[in-house]
Amino acid sequence: MFRESFFGAVCLVLLAGAAPPADPVGSFGARESVESIGLSPGGTKVAFISPGRGQGNILYTVDFAGDGVPHQVLSASGDPDRLTWCNWVSDERLVCQAYLLMTQGAELIPFTRMFAIDADGGNVKLLSREQREGDFAVAIGGGRVIDWLPQSDGSVLIARTYVPAVNTGSNIIDKRQGFGVDRLDTRSLGSKAVEAPRNSALDYISDGLGNVRIMGVSTAGFNGQDTGIVEYQYRTKASRDWKKLNTFNSVTGEGFSPYAVDPTLDLAYGLKKKDGRWAAYSVALDGSGAETLVYAHPEVDVDGFVPIGRNGRVVGVTFATEKRQAVYFDKNLAALAASLGKALPKLPLIRFVDSSVDESKLLLWAGSDSDPGRFYLFDKKTKSLGEVLPSRPELKEAQLASVKPITYRAADGTQVPGYLTLPPGVADARKLPAIVMPHGGPGSRDEWGFDWLAQYFASRGYAVLQPNFRGSTGYGDAWFQKNGFQSWKTAIGDVNDAGRWLISEGIADPSKLAIFGWSYGGYAALQANVLDPTLFKAAVAVAPVTDLAMLKKEWENWSHSRLVKREIGSGPHVREGSPAQNADRIAAPVLIFHGDRDRNVGVAESRFMADKLKGAGKKVELVVYPKLDHNLEDNEARQDMLRRSDAFLRAALKLP
């Protein structure tokens, strides 16, 4: 039995004590209260990032051995900088990453930079390579931590990019160039080279003990264009020489993609295809190259590993059938996960987030379909389980809907999986207003759990169906087909069949059926009306792809432009599968939202779509949010989007 601990009580009161907004839009449109969280090596402190004003955010620390109150360490304005994550490198010091989106000519350029900071906000040090006046180029990426060196106190292994520099006399003063690894003291910035920079290097994997055991080398093609093919090399424990491990093709999925090194077992864990689905494998690093199947699921892809501890020890694999599951290799952890499931029966989705160095204290998250989730700290020694932070305190008093996994029959007889969310309290739905909500991607899928968009519309009386149409990931190659762009007729056909199923089951009133999507989902929302102009009575598209040729052109100045072109392909489907090129076929009124600093899908695509619809005499409204990017990470913007969407749908569907 677990004993409840109340060490987080003050923290909970501070963050969740306020009454929820009277307007439900304020509750559902608020960003998650915890964007990133980490546990200190000693297990007595947490650091977490919460939303601030606009796209900004704030770093807090909480000392459970002290006052238990969140203390603000620093904040980012969101224009242009924001914090993406922070984690402890010692009990008194943190390493963080900042993200900045800058304009250079007509391009939006993303930058990341890493820095270290004391828990009280002092001694800030830039860990990324500093930009110098004579540098030949600007490093976009600020590097990444590949080993937290848990046995050290404030040092990390950091992989970062080196750019050669000249002085004013055109003499080269620093010849180092490429991606290398340094051991870096985050307090003094004392640095020791671990791996010399290499132009072709793009990945390094450490064993968690300070030893780089795997290196990924690019096989860049003509003019430096990325081919998607990486050659992985490894070292045995007794040698510094590199040996070939494997070649991995990210385009076709051929080969072994390494994830982590286990120094005790002397092997690498990674993913590889088996019978057309991703499976977990291990490859020996002792020179034998022995490959072993670790775990494969007969129906879905294994899509990740479960790491734990400061050294990222792999303890299991994870995959999603109807619901997210984990299979643990570690018997003790498997038993603990089972016990936690019994202790938190209403929160079946449990994820280990972080741990103390000795793994005696575990930070975990638990949630469900009708509970946005909360973070807990578990102490193995005292067997105490205490709530630390809620994910969405604004929804504490809200009545949320349950989510039901379903399958429906597509036109060709294929059974398509999806998730149905009915309005709270409705068990037997009949003739409801309904929304089909295709996911983004297209390389993605929906899962069972809390979804703020689906829950909002359910709270407004809609039935919401989220289809995992063919073209979704997670179900193997046969389901993915050629992807949701090249195989758009199949993917969009499945989306439309989701709407027809809602009608045939009596759930949806055919005169009150709408479609809502974000990113690729926005593309699907528009293209679904091209494929069948009579099915949906209203369409809402957020940050949608609207023209496949335009999407290819957006990335033509980047090193992966050939991969984008290959993914989209060439031929008649480019025009046939572009909503903007077929705007005259769309009959339903359309509402479009887009941020004008979106580098995933440029705002020009939505403007082009709106112009095409207006030119065809169609009803369309375009809302552009200044200075926001693809995810509209701004409470006011999200709340405005929800409010406008609901009003638009109610008017279009003639709802009270």
Residue type for position 50: S
Cα–Cα distance between 111 and 297 in angstroms, integer? 38
pLDDT the model gives residue 14: 43
pLDDT the model gives residue 13: 38
Is-contact 451 32, C-beta < 8 A?
no
Residue type for position 129: R
Residue in the block written with tokens 């900071």: 117
C-alpha torsion 168→169→172→177, nearest 10: 30
636 domain residue, yes or no: yes
642, HSE (Cβ side, Cα atoms, 13 Å): 23
The three-state secondary structure class of 537 is: coil
Our CA angle for 255, 259, 260, nearest 5°, is: 130
pLDDT the model gives residue 549: 96
Q: What pTM did the predictor assign? A: 0.94
Q: Which of 70-84, 86-100, 120-134, 641-655 comes out lowest in average pLDDT?
A: 120-134
173 domain residue, yes or no: no
Burial of 354 (0-12, 13-18, 19+ CB in 10 A): buried
pLDDT the model gives residue 22: 54
Each residue's pLDDT tens digit, 372-425:
999 999 999 999 999 999 999 999 999 999 999 999 999 999 999 999 999 999
pLDDT band at 428 (very low <50, low <70, confident <90, very high): confident
pLDDT the model gives residue 4: 47
pLDDT band at 442 (very low <50, low <70, confident <90, very high): confident
Alpha-helix runs per DSSP H in 532-652 = 548-554, 561-568, 572-576, 603-615, 635-652
pLDDT the model gives residue 20: 45
Cα–Cα distance between 551 and 601 in angstroms, integer? 7
pLDDT the model gives residue 176: 81
Task: Provide the number of structural domains found in the chain.
Answer: 1
Cα–Cα distance between 225 and 561 in angstroms, integer? 7
Cα–Cα distance between 29 and 200 in angstroms, integer? 43
Each residue's pLDDT tens digit, 520-537:
999 999 999 999 999 999
Q: Which two tokens stand for residue 420?
A: 């149905």
Is-contact 562 226, C-beta < 8 A?
yes
Spell out the SS3 assignment of 414-482.
CEEEEEEECCCCCCCCCCEEEEECCCCCCCCCCCCCCCHHHHHHHHCCCEEEEECCECECCCCHHHHCC
pLDDT the model gives residue 7: 41
Q: Which two tokens stand for residue 636?
A: 């006011």
11 domain residue, yes or no: no
Each residue's pLDDT tens digit, 333-347:
999 999 999 999 999
Each residue's pLDDT tens digit, 239-251:
999 999 999 999 9
Residue type for position 239: S
Cα–Cα distance between 276 and 222 in angstroms, integer? 30
Q: How many whole angstroms from its chain centre is CA 532?
A: 32
211 domain residue, yes or no: no
pLDDT the model gives residue 24: 81
Is-contact 618 612, C-beta < 8 A?
no
Within a 10 A sphere around the Cβ of 312, how many other Cβ atoms?
A: 21
195 domain residue, yes or no: no
Q: In the chain, pLDDT over 90 holds for what percent of residues? A: 85
Residue 651 gets which letter from DSSP?
A: H
Each residue's pLDDT tens digit, 71-115:
999 999 999 999 999 999 999 999 999 999 988 877 899 999 999
Our CA angle for 445, 624, 537, nearest 5°, is: 60
Q: Which two tokens stand for residue 320?
A: 């999603």
Each residue's pLDDT tens digit, 300-322:
999 999 999 999 999 999 999 99
- Residues with Cβ within 8 Å of 467's Cβ and at least 6 positions away in sequence, in order, are 408, 416, 417, 418, 436, 438, 446, 494, 495, 498
Tell me the mean pLDDT in the region 567-579: 96
Residue 254 gets which letter from DSSP?
A: B
28 sits in which H/E element:
helix 24-28
Which residue segment(s) compose the domain that 527 sits in? 403-652
Is-contact 578 546, C-beta < 8 A?
yes
416 domain residue, yes or no: yes
Burial of 21 (0-12, 13-18, 19+ CB in 10 A): middle
pLDDT the model gives residue 137: 65
What residues pair up with 74 in beta bridges, in sequence order?
59
CATH number of 482's domain: 3.40.50.1820
User: Does residue 6 or residue 641 have the better pLDDT?
Assistant: 641
Picking from 527, 403, 537, the residue whose alpha carbon sits closest to that of residue 464 is 403
Each residue's pLDDT tens digit, 466-525:
999 999 999 999 999 999 999 999 999 999 999 999 999 999 999 999 999 999 999 999
State which of 2-16, 76-90, 152-166 shows the largest mean pLDDT: 76-90
* CA distances, 339 to each of 353, 375, 566 (Å): 17, 17, 47
Residue in the block written with tokens 């294994």: 302
| Cis peptide preceding 258, ω within 30 of 0 | no
C-alpha torsion 105→108→113→118, nearest 10: 110
User: Does residue 220 or residue 197 have the better pLDDT?
Assistant: 197
250 domain residue, yes or no: no
Tell me the mean pLDDT in the region 622-637: 97
Name the average pLDDT for the chain.
Answer: 93
493 domain residue, yes or no: yes
The three-state secondary structure class of 246 is: strand
Residue type for position 171: N
* CA distances, 277 to each of 246, 290, 317, 468, 488 (Å): 19, 21, 14, 16, 21
pLDDT the model gives residue 474: 97
pLDDT band at 10 (very low <50, low <70, confident <90, very high): very low
